[in-house]
Amino acid sequence: MKKTLLFLAVITLFAVKSFSQATEVVIFSQDGERFWVVIDGVLQNQEPQPRVQVSGLTKEYYRVKVIFEIETIPDINQSISTTDADGKRVNATYRIFKRKKKYSMWPHSWEEVAPAQAQTQTIQLQTEGPSGRPQTRPQQPATQQPTVQVDQTTVTTTAGITVRLPDGTVITFAPGAVIDPQYLDYIVVEETVDFQPERPVATRPINYPAPAPTPAPVYYVPGYTGAVGCPIPMDANSFNRAKNTIKNNSLESDMISTAKQVASNNCLTVSQVVEIMDLFGFESTKLEFAKFAYDYTYDIGNYYEVNNAFSFSSSKQELNNYINRKR
């Protein structure tokens, strides 16, 4: 197995003039599974953790790989964005959860990042080994020496940077990251080579540090705390546009086809499902859509409310039997 190579190096900091606006991403596991995070091929945490924070992200998109400590859980591979729908930079939080025996990672919350302007200066930084004497990087064949650019408010690096604070907190920054110079005294530079996690084989207890508090969840249906079938339901404006599109069809067959397209590409609440069902004139069409929409409904614990849209008890019973077979 290839291992991560650590080195302490002499870092020369260059004076630049820049307008930097870095973001951070937090990834946490809802049920506490520990994992590693690899962003654009660079390992972000040396030990598996249930919550990983990556700061100093300057690109708009990153490729993320989540590798679980438990070998039987498949890796998660997906792209994440550091901007919102309007192109504004945001700090984003992603939640890993298990749904229908499969682990997924979805946006949990985000906040806009205010832009910052920086002045520059030149600094000479040297790290020290355990004995207090400067250490140089071991000889390696033709690899690029990482450099760090610093200004009065930020530090930019071309390689992975790890900051280890006096209280033991470890923060990892991706290549091209922008960080605060207050961390300069605690920088440890890392070079990651083709990371393959070494999963634990011993069963003896390991004392892991307590994870940081999980961000407060966002409730899209007031008062609802039950099971969730999909991550974020449609907002009112988007749903009203979709509903009008369904209504504009003259044939019921075209209406149900459009309604299924809306449901399969979005996430609905139970009340939104009922509103769409009320657009249909035939009981059979209502039942067909109610069955289809179950897999794309946020508050599935409230799905019994769909029965209010039916005229016949036989339709209610058939829907109930259908849901029971899926569980």
Give the CA count within 13 Å in the CB-facing half-sphere of 105: 26
pLDDT score recorded for residue 155:
56
User: Residue 186: helix, strand or coil by DSSP?
Assistant: helix
User: Residue 288: helix, strand or coil by DSSP?
Assistant: helix
In degrees and rounded to multiples of 5, residue 291 shows phi and psi of -65, -45
pLDDT score recorded for residue 10:
34
Q: CA–CA separation, 141 vs 313, rounded Å? A: 76
pLDDT score recorded for residue 117:
47
pLDDT score recorded for residue 211:
73
pLDDT score recorded for residue 38:
93
**CB contact at 8 A, 163 and 187:** yes
- Each domain of the chain, given as residue ranges in start order, spans 5-191, 236-326
Question: Is 180 exposed, middle or buried, given 0-12, 13-18 or 19+ CB atoms closer than 10 A?
Answer: middle
Gyration radius (Cα) of the chain, Å: 25
pLDDT score recorded for residue 192:
44
pTM (predicted TM-score): 0.39
Could you read off the pLDDT tens digit of each residue along the chain, which spans 327 residues?
Answer: 444 333 333 333 333 333 347 889 999 999 999 999 999 989 999 999 999 999 888 888 899 999 999 999 999 999 888 888 778 888 989 999 988 788 989 888 888 887 654 444 433 343 344 443 333 333 444 444 444 454 545 556 555 667 777 777 777 777 666 666 666 666 664 444 445 566 655 455 556 677 777 766 667 888 888 888 898 999 999 999 999 999 999 999 999 999 999 999 999 999 999 999 999 999 999 999 999 999 999 999 999 999 999 999 999 999 999 999 987
Nearest to 36 by CA among 235, 189, 282, 27: 27
pLDDT score recorded for residue 60:
85
> Which residue in the block uniquely carries the two structure tokens 């520990």?
34
Question: Is 125 exposed, middle or buried, given 0-12, 13-18 or 19+ CB atoms closer than 10 A?
Answer: middle
For the chain, the first-to-last Cα distance in angstroms comes to: 41
**CB contact at 8 A, 293 and 262:** no
Spatial neighbors of 201 by CB under 8 A, at least 6 apart, are none
Q: Please report which residue ranges of the chain form alpha helices under DSSP H.
A: 236-247, 252-264, 270-277, 283-293, 313-326
CA dihedral sign of residues 253, 259, 264, 270: negative
pLDDT score recorded for residue 195:
54
User: Residue 296: helix, strand or coil by DSSP?
Assistant: helix
